[in-house]
Copies of this chain bind each other. A is one copy, B any other.
């Protein structure tokens, strides 16, 4: 920096102010210094800058699963544009996750934390809170609201007989969502399946064995939806003419196959989450939660009842 200062005939302090857009420099000086710096290919050293200035210009991004890639991509883009470094931590498997939280390696290194596609345990949140910087958690959102969207779409298409396939282990009841929209519940049309294509095929078999076929199926898992899709087609059923199908998950899969699905605008949500976090950093420093909101991607697997 002092080289640039010398070349521009000013002091280092002025170069610093000029390059960072700080007030207190005449426009002419700023322009000139900026130009000299560019010519000399000079860029401020982040380490020294944050050491001296106390700012860090870095955000830690925690993610459970790199699968939801677009969320990450959106966040990264927005952060880079805002001049922040992205320190990535993939906390997918238990080992790396506990290793991370055991001794959170972020002390005095980041201005904030963004937790994507990861549900933090109480103790984990506490560990992050100790950093003293805002934490923004992007919550995967409510299955209930996703379901509402799917049901609404099917009802609009005239469906009344809707089966719901949940993940095994889910013991919560979602009947109310259907009931709230005026549907009758038939117990045999609530099914559980492991989140695999094979599971979906079995579900389809079960459905076909029933005394009456629903006119639509909603699956919580994309893999299951695909299994149902393939099994029904192999059985000669047409989709969507004979049966409509909606998935509540599995963005990539459902898009590839053309299955109507509830999904998030992940990239945009990532950007938005960053905006919230940066706002908090500049503002009250509060931690918060960003709820992912769902949208319906209507594709070829749904039609009139």
A→B interface (CB under 8 Å): 41, 43, 45-48, 50-51, 56, 61, 65-67, 69-70, 72-73, 76-77, 80, 85-90, 92, 96, 100, 105, 107-109, 196-198, 223, 226, 230, 233-234, 252-253, 256-258
User: Which one of B51, B92, B257 lies within 8 Å of A226 (CB-CB)?
Assistant: B257
**Copies of this chain assembled into the complex:** 2
Indicate whether A256 sits within 8 Å of B197 (C-beta atoms), given known contacts A90-B76, A96-B80: yes
Query: Is there an interface contact between B67 and A90, defined as CB atoms closer than 8 Å?
Result: no
What is the bound-complex CA distance between A193 and B284, given in angstroms? 54
Q: Which residues of B contact A92 (CB under 8 A)?
A: 73
Closest to A106 in B: B43
Indicate whether A90 sits within 8 Å of B72 (C-beta atoms), given known contacts A46-B109, A51-B51, A80-B96: yes
User: Which one of B45, B69, B85, B96 lies within 8 Å of A66 (CB-CB)?
Assistant: B69
Q: Which residues of B contact A108 (CB under 8 A)?
A: 43, 45-47
Query: Is there an interface contact between B105 and A196, defined as CB atoms closer than 8 Å?
Result: no
Q: Which residues of B contact A233 (CB under 8 A)?
A: 230, 233-234
User: Which one of B46, B47, B100, B257 lies within 8 Å of A197 (CB-CB)?
Assistant: B257
- Specify the main secondary structure of chain A where it touches its partner: helix
Q: Which residues of B contact A96 (CB under 8 A)?
A: 77, 80
What is the bound-complex CA distance between A268 and B46, given in angstroms? 32
What is the bound-complex CA distance between A107 and B44, given in angstroms? 8
Closest to A230 in B: B230
Closest to A53 in B: B47
Q: Which residues of B contact A85 (CB under 8 A)?
A: 87
Query: Is there an interface contact between B61 and A72, defined as CB atoms closer than 8 Å?
Result: no
What is the bound-complex CA distance between A226 and B85, given in angstroms? 39
Q: Which residues of B contact A230 (CB under 8 A)?
A: 230, 233, 257
Closest 8 CB pairs of A and B: A66-B69, A88-B88, A43-B107, A76-B90, A47-B51, A73-B90, A86-B88, A47-B47
Q: Could you tell me the distance in whole angstroms from the C-beta of A259 to the nearest C-beta in chain B?
A: 10
Q: Which residues of B contact A86 (CB under 8 A)?
A: 87-89
What is the bound-complex CA distance between A109 and B87, given in angstroms? 13
What is the bound-complex CA distance between A59 and B156, given in angstroms? 52
**Most chain-B CB neighbours within 10 Å: which of A77, A85, A87, A88?**
A88
What is the bound-complex CA distance between A73 and B88, given in angstroms? 10
